[in-house]
Amino acid sequence: MLLPILQQVTRFEDSPAFRTATDVVTGQHLLKAASANALALLQQSADLGEARVGLLVPADHRFPAALWGVWQAGGIAVPMCLSATDPEWEYCFDDAGVSAVLTSAHLLDRLRPLCEARGIRLLCCASPAGDPPADLVTDAAALPAVSTDRRAMILYTSGTTSRPKGVVTTHACIQAQIESLVQAWDWQSTDRIPLFLPLHHIHGIINVVSCALYCGALIEPFDGFEPQAVLQRLQQDAFTVFMAVPTIYVRLIRMIEQLPPAEQQSVCRAFARLRLMVSGSAALPASVHAHWHALTGQMLLERYGMTEIGMALSNPLRGERRPGAVGVPLPGVDAMLYDEHGGQITEEHQPGEIRIRGAAVFREYWQRPEATASAFRDGWFCTGDVAVLEQGYFRILGRQSVDIIKSGGYKLSALEIEATLLEHPAVRECAVVGLADETWGEAVAAAMVLQPGCQLDLPQLKEWCRERLSYYKLPKQLLICEALPRNAMGKVVKPQVQQLFTQRSEEGQVS
């Protein structure tokens, strides 16, 4: 018997699921290819028994066929970053104990020595494009019965503060994540969405691919974010829903403003026709939210989630979408703020750690029982993110470890300071961190990428900030750089920013 998620897909098996430049792939194509992958993985065995299978598959119609194939065979899928280095792949292979890898033809030669050294089976995934093989066995009797409480997937955290940990979710957990978003964002079979996000991260896997296929919606994949191609299809009304990270919205703003007036109007009108635009995976500066609204008329819907919990908080589909806030708990999610002593915070404007519970929360960190135990308190998952409640909406202040700066007796939000600095006309990108300081405990330090042709020094920046930030929030160090260190999802890696200050300070390049 098929898992409930795949049973849902059979309702739309004759409908287009993916559209590429050369193919239209239906739900039936995906299910047939998934069965082919499952049978290849089983290789005469009855059940993989939660063996881990690495996925190094392009972000297109081949990905769900590979993912579902692992699930139908009774395995645990381990999606991995296609752009990672060999040592990063090897880390995931070894940490997860991967026994097989599903990949595409163009990666076989690169992966072969890595897999052979570890005794890992290397398989080329079946393509859903074209006519399904007529003789392919798809009878459920040929595949194991997989219960929803079994482990389904291991996603590795971005590793911004430590070595990546494997986050284990069950089939039931993934289904809860999907159903929560389908209800909250009113997914329909008539929806059409572009896919340019990587598929080793929960944003692309759950929010885009899984929600769309669960509802019979159409996905149009791109080879990464191709702005010209995306904007061309947008103006052809190819999409109804659009999901991206803040860095993409910043790039789009710059690109739109450089277009000739007539083309700029056409693009902005096309964005205005979308029924839903979502921003996530990193904080969306209020200035970007306002700029986007001014250009397109769209109020971006910002939400909050993590690899461990899926999506937990969201601005409403219908109702006020408040810039700088991440909204209220999604269906099936309980959220609460806790103080440093473990007490619940009920009054507004009091900062506390966000804790989450519900069916969508992950089961465990792979083979890290101590880390798993320390991540939970009385059934609540401790996110490590600090927020306040403002008129019922959660507003994120930052990570306890890297975004909360303890300076001069104050707890400062790096995200709040960054949002202000981004309003400076010379600033293109910025990251604020705390640096050890004998006087302040931690000193506010800002690393910046400037707009082309602009210059800025620390006295100028402080003078500009004095009318916009309290004196204790003013940057005490400034570093101008060509680019900020980011991970594969575009998130700034704060520990690396701190290392930049240390390195440049030794070279006398910090003001």
pLDDT in tens, 335-383: 999 998 899 998 999 999 999 999 999 999 999 999 999 999 999 999 9
Least confident of 50-54, 136-140, 219-223, 243-247: 136-140
Question: What is the pTM for the complete model shown?
Answer: 0.83
pLDDT of residue 313: 98
pLDDT score recorded for residue 419: 86
Instruction: Round to whole Å and give the CA distance between 427 and 425.
Output: 6
- Residue 198 three-state SS: coil
CATH of domain 4-11+24-146: 3.40.50.980
447-477 pLDDT, tens digit each: 999 999 999 999 999 999 988 888 888 999 9
Q: In the numeric block, which tokens belong to residue 365?
A: 């960190």
Q: What phi and psi values does residue 52 have, to the nearest 5 degrees?
A: -90, 135
Burial class of residue 445 in the structure, from the number of CB atoms within 10 Å of its CB (0-12 exposed, 13-18 middle, 19+ buried): buried
64-94: pLDDT as tens digits: 999 999 999 999 999 998 988 888 899 999 9
pLDDT of residue 490: 75
What is the C-alpha to C-alpha distance for residues 220 and 70, in angstroms, rounded to an integer? 23
Please report the pLDDT score of residue 416 as a whole number.
82
Q: Where are the beta strands (DSSP E) in 189-274?
A: 192-195, 218-221, 241-244
CATH 3.40.50.980 domain range(s) in the chain: 4-11+24-146
Q: How many CA atoms lie within 13 A of 178 on its CB side?
A: 23
Confidence of residue 160 (pLDDT cuts 50, 70, 90): very low
pLDDT band (50, 70, 90) for residue 134: very low
Determine the length of the chain: 511
Buried/exposed code over 224-263 (b: 16+ C-beta within 10 A; e: otherwise): ebebeebbebbeeebbbbbbbbbbbbbebbeebeeeeeee
Q: Which of 298, 334, 299 has its CA nearest to residue 313? A: 334
Mean pLDDT confidence for 138-164: 79
Helices (DSSP H) in 286-368: which residue ranges?
Answer: 286-296
pLDDT tops 50 at residue 161: no
Q: Is 69 helix (H, G, I), strand (E, B) or coil?
A: helix
Q: Is the pLDDT of residue 42 over 90?
A: yes
Task: Please list the residue range(s) of the chain that carry CATH number 3.30.300.30.
Answer: 404-506
- Give the whole-angstrom CA distance, residue 359 versus residue 382: 15
Are 490 and 457 within 8 A, CB to CB?
no
Q: Give the architecture (CATH level 2) of 404-506.
A: 2-Layer Sandwich (3.30)
What burial class does residue 338 get, using C-beta atoms within 10 Å of its C-beta: 0-12 exposed, 13-18 middle, 19+ buried? middle
On the question of pLDDT at 435 being above 80, the answer is: yes
Residue whose pair of structure tokens reads 């947008």 in the numeric block: 234
For residue 458, the tally of other CB atoms under 10 A from its CB is: 17
Q: What pLDDT does residue 507 have?
A: 63
pLDDT of the residue at 88: 84
What is the per-residue pLDDT for 245? Answer: 87
